Structures are given as C-alpha cells and as structure tokens.
Amino acid sequence: MALRAKWTVKIEKLPTWLADGQPLLVSLAVSGLYGAAPTAAADCLDPESICQWILKEWPHLPPQALLQARVNELLAHLFNRDRQVQDVWVGVYRTGAPGSGELVGVERHATRRQFEDLHRALARPTPDLAPATKHRPDRAVHGARLKLGQRE
C-alpha cells in the first residue's frame, strides 16, 4: 500500500475578472490526500490546472449577483474535479472598490463532508411550509368570536 500524505496547494491573489469585466483577486488553499512520494504530475494536486480554470473558464460562467455565489462555484469546481480533495479555503476579493479598503471580499472554508451535506440538502424537496392543521377560513373568522372554552 502506498503511503499517503496531506498536501496543500496555495494560490494567493491570483488576478482574474468576471464576464462583466470586474477585476477580482482569488486566494485559495486546497488540501487533499495524495501519495507521499509522487513521481508524476498525475499523482499530485495540480496548482497549474486550478489557475487555468480560474483564469480561462470561471470568468465565462453566468453572472452572479453575490461574491458568495462565486466562492461557491469555486468550491464546487475544486471538490468535483478531484475526489481526493478533503478541504478548501477560498477568498474572492474586489479590487479598488470606491470608498473601500485595498481589498474587499468574502472567504469561506469547507470540508468535503460539509460540501456534500449541503448539496444533499439542496437536492431534497423543500418541505411544505403550510401549517400542520388545515386552514378553515370560516372557522377562523367565526372562531375568533367564540369565548375561550366555548364550542362552535
């Protein structure tokens, strides 16, 4: 059995843009279990392919109103592309936003378990939010006139 180790790829302040031309900086740390003594690129977590996706594919995804949605897209891509990825931290920052600091953005950390639990929960049908008892408008209006303990 090959020995495995936890490896982490870090990317800091990678400049990219959104389809609307908005510049962003992306930082991330992706950790996973891989061979402790890799001999080929295929045996490793590849930072170059992650950077290429962020630079070439991600900007062309449909627009999102929230940076949080963009962070979730990155998380989904990283967890879905490689089953060995165990946890991901992502930060997405706008640069030079008027009236703000140097960088303004959002960050999120998720484990594979948290990611999979969330997607299972989102895939379930939404429970009916109706009250447990049937609504009877005639009773509600009439019942409002009844005194406590009195029957209809």
Task: Give the span between the Cα atoms of 146 and 33, in whole angstroms.
Answer: 67
Is 136 within the bounds of a domain? no
Per the structure, how many domains does the chain have? 1
CB-neighbour burial class of residue 111 (10 A; exposed 0-12, middle 13-18, buried 19+): middle
Q: Give the mean model confidence (pLDDT) for residues 21-41.
A: 92
- Domain boundaries, position 46: 4-126
- Assess if residue 61 is contained within a domain: yes
110 pLDDT band (50/70/90 cuts)?
very high
Within a domain: 72? yes
What's 50's domain CATH number? 3.30.1130.10
Residue 147 is assigned to a structural domain of this protein: no
Flag whether 133 is in a domain.
Answer: no
Q: How many CB atoms within 10 Å of residue 22?
A: 14
> Would residue 91 count as lying in a domain?
yes
For residues 134 and 97, what is the distance between their CA atoms, to the nearest angstrom?
51
Q: For residue range 66-106, what is the model confidence (pLDDT) as tens digits?
A: 999 999 999 999 999 999 999 999 999 988 766 666 788 99
* pTM, full prediction: 0.75
Specify which residues 19 forms β-bridges with. Answer: none
- Say if 132 falls within a structural domain: no
For residues 1-26, average pLDDT: 91
